[in-house]
């Protein structure tokens, strides 16, 4: 069980939790429903969280499986990979990924029945994108498009989708709050790929980090963090919820990770940066969500 938990890569789970928190908080006060919770339907928020977490775990297991059978993880530096390390069989990891995707599909089906069946199209696209990230004959993650996938699906789609299941609409605010969420989720992947540049290069995995090279990937990471905080005043003003600007204070948590990246940390030394980026995303998301909620 410990191996399965580690293989699910818990450090990446803030990328699933944060968009649900922020999207739901952005929808507060806009749903027009009677009762407590500022118009928020609690079970819909819970179902959205199940979808997001199951998709994150599913993509992690699917990535483990696909990279493992290709041999990409044979000399990996970083958290345990189940197939590459021989801890679990490829078939077992593949089944775990499919179970996680099935859980996401069932929760998504319930949300679609309560709102609009178009959510099934979005959900199918998310599952397909998760699988073909490193799976299939031409995985797009090997072509340097992984960051785009993360920004779109774990930023824009997850955040606006969490708001949509509450208010059944996409608004300028729900789109705006998805930007910093997506930027920090992308930064998480950038650190991961920065660490893996040597191994990915040897395995022929042309991630964006491999294509950019070590130095430009570091600049890219810092730029993602910087753009996150530049977006906050715009969001606070657009929403007329100034308390959302409190998320600017979380910049103190960004300093250690940014400093390690700029100082040239490599290989195993970047593993703590991955954890620090995940914590930054979680704290940023919680503070922004609280500000949006209290100001609604």
Tens of pLDDT, residue by residue over 151-171, are 999 999 999 999 999 999 899
Give residue 37's pLDDT.
59
pTM for the predicted model, two decimal places: 0.89
The stretch 60-85 carries a mean pLDDT of: 74
Write out the residue range of the structural domain in which residue 279 sits. 2-294
Tens of pLDDT, residue by residue over 223-240, are 999 999 999 999 998 778
Give residue 75's pLDDT.
58
Give residue 176's pLDDT.
94
The total domain count for the chain is 1
Tens of pLDDT, residue by residue over 4-38, are 888 778 878 888 999 999 999 999 877 654 444 57
Residue 92, domain CATH = 1.10.600
* DSSP letters spanning the chain: -HHHHHHT-GGGTHHHHHHHHHHHHHHTTTS---SSSTT--HHHHHHHHHHHHHHHHHHHHHHHHHHHHHTTTTT--SS--TTTTTSS-HHHHHHHHHHHHHHHHHHHHHHHHHS-THHHHHHHHHHHHHHHTT-SSS-GGGGT-HHHHHHIIIIIIHHHHHHHHHHSS--HHHHHHHHHHHHHHHHHHHHHHHHTHHHHHHHT---HHHHH-HHHHHHHHHHHHHHHHHHHHHHHHHHT-GGGGGGGGGHHHHHHHHHHHHTT--GGGGHHHHHHHHHHHHHHHHHHHHHHHHT-
């Amino acid at each position: 069980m410990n191996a399965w938990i580690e293989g699910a890569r818990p450090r990446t789970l803030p990328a699933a939790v944060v968009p649900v928190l922020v999207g739901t908080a952005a929808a507060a006060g806009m749903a027009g429903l009677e009762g407590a919770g500022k118009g928020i339907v609690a079970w819909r928020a819970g179902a959205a969280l199940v979808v997001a977490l199951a998709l994150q775990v599913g993509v992690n297991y699917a990535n483990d499986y696909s990279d493992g059978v290709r041999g990409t993880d044979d000399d990996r530096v970083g958290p345990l990979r189940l197939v590459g390390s021989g801890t679990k069989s490829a078939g077992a990891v593949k089944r775990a990924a499919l179970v996680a995707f099935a859980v996401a599909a069932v929760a998504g089906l319930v949300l679609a029945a309560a709102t609009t069946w178009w959510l099934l199209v979005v959900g199918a696209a998310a599952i397909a994108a998760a699988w073909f990230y490193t799976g299939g004959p031409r995985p797009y993650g090997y072509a340097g498009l992984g960051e785009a996938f993360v920004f779109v699906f774990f930023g824009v789609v997850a955040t606006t989708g969490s708001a949509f299941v509450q208010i059944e609409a996409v608004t300028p605010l729900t789109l705006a709050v998805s930007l910093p969420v997506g930027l920090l989720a992308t930064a998480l992947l950038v650190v991961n790929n920065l660490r893996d540049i040597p191994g990915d290069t040897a395995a022929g995995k042309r991630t964006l980090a491999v294509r950019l090279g070590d130095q430009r990937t570091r600049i890219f990471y810092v730029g993602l963090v910087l753009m996150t905080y530049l977006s906050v005043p715009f969001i606070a003003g657009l929403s007329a919820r100034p308390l959302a600007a409190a998320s600017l204070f979380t910049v103190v948590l960004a300093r250690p990770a940014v400093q390690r990246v700029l100082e040239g940390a490599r290989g195993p030394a970047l593993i703590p940066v991955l954890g620090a980026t995940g914590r930054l995303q979680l704290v940023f998301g919680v503070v922004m969500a609280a500000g949006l909620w209290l100001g609604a």
